[in-house]
Structure 1
Amino acid sequence: RVTATDLAQMGGDLPGGSMGPKAEALGRFASETGNEAWVGPLDGGFEALTQGRGTTVVPS
């Protein structure tokens, strides 16, 4: 679990061809909509909701 602000601060440390664009999009979504965003394995949606698998980005 990470805030959109914390994610933006570490954005420069994330590779452009990997997690960088995903992190930017997740942070922007959370900030602009006020909703949580989630990223994780495609087969892990249920586990994300029930076991905390993946990363949740919350509005700042």
Structure 2
Amino acid sequence: MKRQMKPLTALVPALALTAGPALAHGGAHVHPHGAEVWLALALVAVVVLGCVSLMRGRK
């Protein structure tokens, strides 16, 4: 019997990989000041689009 991975279980490693660098931020900035909002939105968009792609692939 083949077990299917639950969507939430599949998202945990993705969230851990995307949040790791933000949590380890030492204060050095590679981005311009004021870019935090669009960087966060871009990151969220990538994760959401990846999840949608995974969910569509299961149908």
TM-score (norm 2): 0.30
In proportion to residue count, which structure has more helix? 2
TM-score (norm 1): 0.29
Higher strand share: 1
Which structure has the larger Rg over C-alpha atoms? Answer: 2
